[in-house]
Amino acid sequence: DAQESRGLGDVYKRQFMSLAKFTARSLLSAIFITGGLDEIKKADQLSEAVDGLLSKLPKSSCSQIPDVDSTLLVKVNGATMLAAGSLLALGIKPRLAATVLAAQLVPVTAAGHAFWEKEGAEKQGDQIQFCKNLGLIGSLLTVALDGAK
């Protein structure tokens, strides 16, 4: 009887952990799903930021980058966020989805929240967003490394 009830406890524990992981993945993915949709919708407006970033790169680097429309780059980035965020929420290849999102978030964070180039309130706002993104990257890496030896 004791062994049977312990087995039942293990089943409940596994079900609870499964539900907890689903909830955590869904909460983490929400910002990527909504952000991806927003980027796709506002690609024309956001492409100016990409153009600004590309203009800051050294000429030698620019020669290595194919001439691609910045609006298309924003849409591809948004679609990547939407797809990987959805996969993460649904638990379909969550480690791969988290890895893709973390890799995508590194350059976006460095380019989009360069607080070291700002002053005053703008600097503080970008610093907050930069640190928030670092937290997201850390959370994504936790998912990506889940179960890794």
pLDDT for 149 equals 42
Global model pTM greater than 0.85:
no
**What sign has the CA pseudo-torsion 86, 87, 88, 91?**
positive
Q: Is the pLDDT of residue 135 over 60?
A: yes
pLDDT for 147 equals 59
